[in-house]
Each structure stands twice: as C-alpha cells, then as structure tokens.
Amino acid sequence: MELTENQEMYLKILDEFIEQEIEPRIKELDTVDEYPVWMQQRVAELGFTRLVAPEEHGGLGENMTTLLLLIMRACRYNNTLGSLINCSNNANKLLSFANEQQIETFLPRILDEGRFMGMAYTEPSGGSDSRAVQTTAVLDGDEWVINGTKSFISYRSAVGSWQVSAKTVNEEGVEGISVFLVDAQAPGVSYGAHYDKFGWCGSDTGDVYFKDCRVPAWSVCGEVNKGLHVSLSTLDGARLVIGARAVGYAEGAFEKAWEYASTREAFGRMLTDFQALQHYFADMYSDIEVSRGYLMHLASELDAGRSVGKGGSIAKLKCTTMAQQVCQRAMEICGGMGLLKDFGLSRYYEDACVLITGEGTSEIQKNIIFKSIKKDRR
C-alpha cells in the first residue's frame, strides 16, 4: 500500500526510537518482568500517545490505518511498545461514552502521560463471559461503593483509570451490569502480586481488588445497567489491534528465522538452499501478507465510518492463529538456537500464544462469526 506523508514520518520516528533506545535494551525487556516506565515516558514525549485522538481534544487526528501500521512495526521488536503505541486509542474509547467530568479528569492521563484506561472486566469465575460479574456497586447518597475482584488484568502499573464492570440496581429496582471509571489510585483499590506467566514480559498482569471503593456518581459510563453496551462497543477496533500485534510478531519471527537460515550452513549448503525450507518461508511470507492485507482493508472500513463486527472477529481469529503457526515454524527452522532465550526468537511465539486468549478466545470469535453468517442468511 502507498503510505501518506504523515505515515512515513511517524514510521521514521518510530524506527529511529527503536534503533536508538529499544534494540540496545531488548534483552533486558525480554527477561526483566517489570513494566518499563522509561518507555512509557519516551513514547509520550514523542507524541505517539496522541496519535489517533481527535485534534479538538489535543490529539493528532490520525486514523486506524496509521495506528495499525505503527503497532505492526512496534511489535516486530517488543510487545509493550506495541501496547504503548495503542495508548492513544484509549482516548477514542473514552470519548465514545464519557461525560464531561470523566473527560476532564482522565483524558490528560492518556494524552499527556501515556497511562492506559484499563479494562477491569475479567473475574476469577467469569473468564470470557462478560455477563458473569460478581463485583457489586451500590449507590450510597451521591457515591457508588464498589466491591469485588478482577483477575488476569494486564499493565496494572501503567493504568491511570479503570473501566470496572459491576452488578447494579437502578432506581426502578431492576438489576443489571454497569461500568464505572475509577481512578487507579483511588482509596479502596489495591493490587495483588503479578503473575509469573508465559509471554508478555513486563506487562504486570495480576489481580485488582476493589474494597469499599467509593466513587462519585459521575463515574458511571453511559447509563446505569447498560454497561455491556459500553464494554462491547469498542471491541471492533480492539480486535484489529490484536490482529496488528499478531502480524508484527509474525514479521519479527520471520526476519529472525530468515537471518539465521541465510547465514547457517548444513551439509555444505546454506539452509535457504534447501527446498523444504524455501517452501516454509514461502508459506510464512504469504500468510503474513494475506493477514496484513485483510487488516488494512478492515482499517479502511473503520476509517470510513463502517462497522467491522464480523470482520474484526475474523481478523482476530485468523491473524492470531497465523502468528502462532509462523512463530512456531520459525523456531523449527532455527532448531536448537530457536529455543535459547538469548537468541530472541522464542518471545515471539510466547507473545503470539497470549493473543489467542485476549479480546475473546478463538472459540468466542467463531461463535460471533457463525451468528453473523446465520443472521445474513435469514
């Protein structure tokens, strides 16, 4: 695809940042499981935290296509960098439902500081079922009191505000689910130890606890008892972002395997001279290109104001599956070297595996796709 002048400029700035500041610390980023605050600060200084936010709110007003291009490039090198490039998309999520007080309080944390608006939805007994909420929010005068536990929550150290789902009762006595915006450092919010997990090094994943956490009435996102609409309304773009991460991981793994195979001799020949490996590379390259092309198509649809509900699920399903397969094949090509942490290839496979679960498992995406197919044929 032909890039705009702005896209070329942003990619050049990102490439220089990666070359000068990310690559020299890549082994540290791959092995030290701590959130890199320094990276967050630098990404904010470079302006990427304003990328797709509207200009009238202090953003740069770029589109989804530009965002995905940058995320793909970032994830060739480091997963957390990809997350930080996506930070500006949090501003658009906030603006899609927020009231004036929420915007005034929390938008600067995203644009100026690069702090995420975290999604505290998943619960120990809920998993992918967004309706299986045990956390409660009870109205007490002009405040809501929130109690509950959220689990498998990532980037806790980087969050400025939490979107928290909770069971509520409205003025008519009807029960439902609402979503609240809660200051990450509010009294009553605490954090458990981070999980020692597979993949996404530095993402600070763990539990978030809400114990008698009191928030003002204006903290409700949208309307009381209509929180599922708020939580599900931003998933189109989120699933494309997951797809872009997947393509970035696959590209990084491909390049690593190509570099190794084109310099490694076996039986007197370079590995790239063996037809079996040539076919591996042809398949990997083709899968990456097809995935990227479909993502760019969907991004252009979103940029034109059209919904990509089914397409977003297809992209999430196929791109993440592709990334896992490409990264695994890259490790096979590199043999024993691919298993070594210092070699820097295994992290792509680990990070790709995480994507299979995020923003709805593959099985959830298949359910959505089938329901859409069925609806189209009525």
- Residues with catalytic roles: 359
Distance, CA of 192 to CA of 166 (rounded, Å):
19
One-letter amino acid of 160: G
CA distances from 119 to 14, 94, 230, 258, 268 (A): 27, 11, 11, 37, 54
CB neighbour list of residue 56: distance below 8 Å, 6 or more residues apart = none
CA distance 177 to 224: 7
Residue 249, φ and ψ in degrees, nearest 5: -60, -45
Distance of alpha carbon 331 from alpha carbon 349, whole angstroms: 8
Q: What's the sign of the alpha-carbon dihedral 282, 284, 289, 290?
A: positive
Cα–Cα distance between 18 and 138 in angstroms, integer?
Answer: 47
Quick check: 49 and 56 in contact, CB under 8 A? no
Amino acid at 302: L
Residue 40, classed as helix, strand or coil, is helix
Q: From 251, 46, 79, select the one nearest 158 (Cα to Cα).
A: 79
Q: What CA–CA distance (Å, rounded) separates 29 from 45?
A: 20
Close Cβ partners of 357 (under 8 Å, ≥ 6 residues apart): none
Write the DSSP assignment of 217-284 as a string of letters: GGGB-SSTTBHHHHHHHTHHHHHHHHHHHHHHHHHHHHHHHHHHHTT-EETTEEGGGSHHHHHHHHHH
